Amino acid sequence: MHATSIYVVGQQTKPTVTAQLISATKRQQEQRRKAPSIQISCIVYLLRQGLTLRGHSDIESNLVQLLKLRSIDNDFLKEGINDKKYLSHDIINELCKEIYLLIIRDIVKEVRSTYSFV
């Protein structure tokens, strides 16, 4: 009887299965929101250093190696490296184009504010 009571009380303090699933889903969504920003920061870093993003193979590429290094601190990045969906060549090229456009806009903005063309 006492063992049953302890078991029932112990089960009451645990969250329900639904609550656990909702919590796990929220945690996974939050991690998936963070991963692209880390990937973009890695791309920006490699572009600033003048390094190539790709290597002879996707596994040996500078981008994947940098992401592996960053995944030491972020466990959820390990899943992102294995999931090639966001590391496809088309997506990386599109991100590079957008980064270049931002840089060009900043340079033009700085030149226009520095020099007045009358």
The pLDDT tens digits for 4-47 are: 877 777 666 777 888 889 998 998 888 778 888 888 999 999 99
Record the tokens describing residue 13, joined without a space: 């303090």
Q: What pLDDT does residue 105 have?
A: 94
Give the span between the Cα atoms of 54 and 56, in whole angstroms.
Answer: 7
The predicted model scores a pTM of 0.68
In 15-111, which ranges are E strands? none
Q: What pLDDT does residue 108 have?
A: 92
The pLDDT tens digits for 76-109 are: 777 767 666 667 888 889 999 999 999 999 999 9
